[in-house]
Structure 1
Amino acid sequence: MVKKVAWGAGHGIHTPGKRTPDGEREWSFNNVVVTEGIKHLEGNYDDVEVLRLDDPTGERDVPLQERTNKANAWGADVYVSTHHNANTGKWGSWTGTETYTYLGNHPSTEQLASKVHKRIVNAYGLRDRGLKKADFHVLRETKMDAVLTEGGYMDSTIDIKK
């Protein structure tokens, strides 16, 4: 049975406020993760189809409703939204990765989040900030298991090296 993965890099290049203190946009970090992740899935699994939800050029910040509607209409089995955190917008020593699921008890989603989160923590080698719950649009409005990842802090002197 083919698994359908809907995956999007959070934010576009022109989204205000989503950048490092040096001006690098969050989308550039997210895009690397999503691009490499899609290559990995498509190159290693015959039973996986991937639908990219953001604009692969980053020029257009695809609205959240458009993303979730597209994933729902496609019949995705899994929804992943890839992000990177920022704290103050100035360089600091905060660190870590975290993964979000929707509020409430959703065992299959929480199992997915646990697996995804463990791999992100291992890949980055940063502090594990844990699994968290939030009322984010992409978690609330999807009809499938959905996770939102925060891969590290763009304004961290620790995380930026990873």
Structure 2
Amino acid sequence: MIKITHAAGHALVTPGKQSPDGYKEWQVTSEIVKLVMRELETYEGVAQKRIDNPTGKSDIPLNKRCELVNGWSTNVHIDYHLNAYGSGWNNAGGTEIYTYTTKPREAAALAEKIQTNLVKALGFHNRGVKAADFQMVRETEMTAILIEFAFMTNQNEAMKMRTPEYQKRAAKAVVNGLVSQYGLKKKPAVSSTDDVVYRVQVGAFSDIDNAKSLVEDLKAKGYPAIMV
């Protein structure tokens, strides 16, 4: 069993943390979190929890988020963000992922796998895997990464990341990285009953004439009856 926690960065009510036109970072990252969690539900041996406020109506402090993650004995934590440069539209752009400054081996390996998938899926500039002293990768006691999918101050990237198509691409890239890193296996497919035919026996006779009579009676009523 692997335990994974997810957190969309900030919240709807967090000051700033938005594109120049007012579109909030959380509006994008929350959708990606939901898509990732939904996809991971189709894999065996995965327990997961979202530790930000899923309504976006309050911004849970970082120290509290770390407490929630550590208290659940999480194996992997992923923080979901959009980057920014300045307050107006500009050309700074690309995708990058952060680990802690000590560059823990497992976190770095996971980050590289997800980064490779994200760059391929989104098509934005590859800014690479980096290390930083961010609280969510410093004070969490497990493999932890912080993803910056794109720049919300880059109009091209921001508009793309608002679309369901790019959110799905981002989520799939995250899941693919996790699958590759931890060897996750899909749950067995549930058999569909759409093509199953059920047969009902309505009588058993020692006299063949009685059997034939019932078959004819059923056919007369529209049932495709047979005698065996």
TM-score by shorter chain over 0.5: yes
User: 2:57 corresponds to which residue?
Assistant: 59
Check the 8 A contact 1:3/1:47 in 2, yes or no.
yes
Q: Distance in 1 between matches of 2:98 and 2:150?
A: 13
Aligned-residue offset at 1:49: 1.0
**Percent of counterpart pairs with the same letter?**
38
Runs of 4+ more than 3 Å apart: none
Number of residues paired by the alignment? 160
Q: Distance in 1 between matches of 2:33 and 2:11?
A: 13
User: 2:114 corresponds to which residue?
Assistant: 116
TM-score after normalising by structure 2: 0.68
Q: Could you tell me which of 76, 82, 107 is aligned with 1:84?
A: 82
Q: Tell which has more relative contact order, 1 or 2 (C-alpha 8 A, sep 6+).
A: 1
SS of 2:65's partner is: helix
User: 1:17 corresponds to which residue?
Assistant: 16
User: 2:71 corresponds to which residue?
Assistant: 73
Q: Distance in 2 between matches of 1:118 and 1:9?
A: 21
SS of 2:78's partner is: strand
The structure carrying a bigger helix percent of its residues is 2
Aligned-CA RMSD value = 1.0
User: 2:36 corresponds to which residue?
Assistant: 37
Check the 8 A contact 1:82/1:148 in 2, yes or no.
yes
- What is the 5 A alignment of 1:89-108? 89-108=87-106
User: 1:156 corresponds to which residue?
Assistant: 154
Unaligned runs of 5+ in 1: none
Q: Which moved more, 1:127-136 or 1:103-112?
A: 103-112
Unaligned runs of 5+ in 2: 161-228
User: 2:205 corresponds to which residue?
Assistant: none
Tell me the amino acid that sits aligned with residue 100 of structure 1. Answer: Y
Check the 8 A contact 1:95/1:158 in 2, yes or no.
no
TM-score after normalising by structure 1: 0.95
Aligned-residue offset at 1:47: 1.1
